[in-house]
Copies of this chain bind each other. A is one copy, B any other.
Amino acid sequence: MLQSRRKIRTEEARSERPGASGAEAFDRRPKLDFDVLDGHLGYFLRRLQISVFKDFISTLATLNVRPAQYSALVLIGANPGRSQAEIGEALNIERARFARLLDELERRGWTQRVAALRDRRSHSLFLTNEGRTALMTIKGLAARHEKQVSRIVGGTRRQKLMKLLKDVQPQARPRS
């Protein structure tokens, strides 16, 4: 049942490549066959998203701000008083997870939930003064991160990707 024959072949293949040079010498293991993964857009989106997020997290490590927290701070800052439901939906964050994210931002003294005038079950979101100050610093680091993304991805390729990705989701675009 275990394919030991194929396994041996794999180990032979490893020793068959003594002349690997340059990038290949960096990793002598034979490349993996990605099979049908090579045809899935989701797979490639996820790969790049993970490496972009890793850069974001390490660039903002001193402030310990994660991408979802950053997105929430930016949206609350640019749209003060909008409801928790609207901001959460716009960021595609599931309701309970968004509530926990806001708990964390409040604990840090950056945001406030206020019961809405018209419907007290609904909450309006605001930055505190401290939150506005923090967001300025955070935006500076996020801009540095984006320059790094541009270097990693390539400036032209980044522009092309942005255009294509924005076209897919017109509902997510800001009003111009």
- Smallest Cβ distance from A74 to chain B, in angstroms? 5
B153 touches A157 (CB 8 A): no
Bound Cα distance A52, B142 (Å): 25
Q: How many residues of A contact B (CB 8 A)?
A: 78
- Copies of this chain, complex-wide, total 2
A interface residue numbers (CB < 8 A to B): 1-4, 6-7, 10, 23, 29-53, 56, 67, 71, 74-75, 77-82, 86-87, 90, 92, 112, 114, 124, 126, 128-129, 139, 142-143, 146, 149, 152-154, 157-158, 160-162, 164-169, 171-175
A7 to chain B, nearest CB (A): 3
Asked whether, in the complex, the Cβ of B79 is within 8 Å of the Cβ of A10, the reply is yes
